[in-house]
Amino acid sequence: MIVDCHGHYNSQKGFTYYAKRYATDEWAKRICTPFIQALTRAAEATSAQAWIESLDRYGVDKVLLQTAPFGDNDAVAEFVSKAPDRFVGIANIDFIDPEGSNSVKEVERAKDLGLKGIGELYPPIGPWDPADKKCFPVYEKAQELGLPIMIHLCSESFPAPYVNLRYNDPYMLDTVLRNFPDLIFIFCHMGGDYVHHLYVLMKARMNVYAEISSISWGGVPSPYHGFFNISRKSVLEKFIGMRLGSQRLLWGTDVQAPYNSDMEKDNVQGTIKDNPLVKLMEELNLNEEDKANILGENAKKLFKL
């Protein structure tokens, strides 16, 4: 089974919430406008049929559709219901104001809706501290229900007005990892600029996994390939070499719309065989089990697909 564990689903309701929550002054509104316009184009390019055709053409069995921080759970659950054998819904949960938003109950409701995890969380926007104890009841409920959490702690990758770099480092989550050892956290983009910190965390904490879209795109430079002159190949080799390495990496693309849409066609080209990650795995002479783990078996186990 091949699973893209980092797709997105966008809805107009989510944009409205997003604009009110994050674009709080005129400067921020001006910066956010083109971003919201891009998300609108993604929503317009998204349909169940377009996604299915795109998955078939590329050679992918299932795609995880994340909604946070600007989605709503009812919308993604409804979309997933159109092709439950191909789409996997991931819940948007409010960690900025978990008490005021009844986030613990929303985790329970998300489970009832058939959503398989939580994410993608973005502490740098808001911003919010993922180790704040006000979030602990939400983590406890997610752990109880077996819902993995996907989190974006990696780099300055959003327009500056609402990004706080202080909340970007994967090390910020270590208190949570130790307090909730059975709660799985999947770090998106392989930690990005903090890939070295993620590597240390994964060596120390067995409930840490990495989603590796940062080395899965052909048109996007690796965040750690320039300044430190570290290649994608050497990074992948390093992570696979750690304890249970290939069992803790998940392939993803971070697409906002179907692969063959105008938004994504330059990023996701050809078929799965043309994917830069797949080519890297061939260069490293990985065995079939390791390749299968990364491309889908790990996601299958974590999200109970």
Least confident residue range of 27-41, 186-200, 259-273: 27-41
Q: 107 or 68: whose pLDDT is higher?
A: 107
Chain-centroid distance, C-alpha 214: 11
Instruction: Evaluate if residue 219 carries a pLDDT over 50.
Output: no
> Confidence class of residue 207 from pLDDT cuts 50, 70 and 90?
very high
pLDDT, tens digit, for every residue of 130-183? 999 999 999 999 999 999 999 998 765 555 556 777 888 999 999 999 999 999
**pLDDT of 57:** 95
Q: Which has the closest alpha carbon to 257: 80, 82, 68, 50?
A: 50
- What lies within 8 Å, CB to CB, of 94 at 6+ separation is 101, 103, 106
CATH number where 14 lies: 3.20.20.140
Tens of pLDDT, residues 256-285: 899 988 888 888 888 999 998 899 999 999
pLDDT at site 296: 97
Proportion of the chain above pLDDT 90, given as a percent: 58
How high is the mean pLDDT of the chain? 87
Confidence of residue 225 (pLDDT cuts 50, 70, 90): low
Q: Give the chain's domain count.
A: 1
Range of the domain at 289: 3-302
Q: CB-based contacts of 206: which residues, under 8 Å, 6+ apart?
A: 181, 243, 244
User: How high is the pLDDT of residue 188?
Assistant: 93
In whole angstroms, what is the distance from residue 91 CA to residue 87 CA?
Answer: 13
* 70-84, 91-105, 226-240, 247-261, range with the lowest pLDDT: 226-240
Weakest-pLDDT range from 86-95, 122-131, 157-166: 157-166
- Min mean pLDDT across 34-38, 74-78, 151-155, 264-268 is at 34-38
Q: Is the pLDDT of residue 88 over 80?
A: yes
**pLDDT the model gives residue 220:** 45
